[in-house]
Structure 1
Amino acid sequence: MPHKKAKQSIREKVRNEIGADLPPQKGSLRSEPIPKSASRILNAQNIRDDFRKKRKSCEERADNEGRVGKRQKKTKSDVKSTVQTTLKIQPGESMQHFNRRVEDDLRPLVKSAMQTARSRERGAAREPSGPVDTRLEKKTEKKRAKYREEEGAKEISLQLPPTHPDRPKEFASVNSSAPKRLNDIAQAPPEFSKLPRGATAFSTKKDGVLSMAQKLLMEKERENAITRYRELKSSRKLRVDTITP
């Protein structure tokens, strides 16, 4: 079957017939393009020579025009033409270097566009937005003045005079000789001079305390209640026994 590998003996025989000293094929490294970073290193001398030639030509052109040692400024048309011709990725150039080259080429165009936009904004801000209606402004001013007068009259009416100006206020009457703190120890229970709300009379300390005679009476009454309860239970039990056959 064609998809199966041939035997090892057959493969070795074919390899010996072909040999090892063969010319490079299409997929060899020689036909691959060199990366841009590597080509800069290999062709460093040529790049320097080209740069020196360009600089020399610029200086000669400036000397002819009377501007020694200065380069000519590129016009917008020159920049556009160079951008249109150079904005293409070169063989072996990485995307990082291509993006950097594009930004360098488009920077003057972006700068000029930003300057023109700013100048237009300044001109629009200086120009008046439209005719000002003086009548409308006068009406609004009158309404505001009327509203202020009404608010002032309301505030004066709300400020009523006090009924008892000579009487001290609540916080002025509540004074104590010793300051009260959070963790102070109470030496005695509090004593109230006025009755609280809903109370009819003060309760003394002796209220609720029983004497010995009262305790004896309470014990006797308790015993009587217990005996009565037992008698009641026994009478009910006898009645039930007599009724049932």
Structure 2
Amino acid sequence: MPHKRAKSSARHSQRDALGFDRAPTGKSGLDDIPRSARHLFSAPPPKRKAETETTSQETPTLKIRPNERMRDFNQRVENAFATDINSTMRREQRSESNTRKRERRRELLKAKKRAANPQLAREDAAADWARASKTRSLHDVAQAPPVITARPKERKKAPTAVEAQAAARPKPSLARQKILDEERERVVKQYRALKKAREQAGA
């Protein structure tokens, strides 16, 4: 079985024939670096600032530590999420206060318009009264029977057995329909001729 590696003498003679002043090969430049230092040159590129900030802002994964009490773990979780909870609560309170301020400002504006225009005040009062009259309560007393304004929908009648059979029967083709019409017309003519002959015979 031949050896996979050439003899030492053959390798030395080949190296001497090639010489030492040779052009670089297509291999990577890490061949001449010791293995213990290669990881310094093959490390991934440093992350950009935006990626670093995004990673730092991500929610930390909290796990209970060995020999840690549940109360201490709960306290640690609350401390980790305290900033987010407080910011959310402040945002909700701010939105509620803004809504109340807008409603108060709207009411003040309406009051100013009513004070400046008595006609508008009367119209608003009438609209409020009409809106209040449409509101129904449990203790309201009916003064008259209700008036039905909506037109009732027409109920579809259930088809009879004959209609169901006729609907289920397949429609004849145009040629067959033409033949049936011609046959019907022939029978009608024959019946009329027979009836006319009977009337003449009776007369």
TM-score range, shorter chain: under 0.3
Q: TM-score, normalised by structure 1?
A: 0.22
Greater RCO (CA < 8 Å, at least 6 residues apart): 1
**Structure that is richer in helix per residue:** 2
Q: Which has the larger radius of gyration?
A: 1
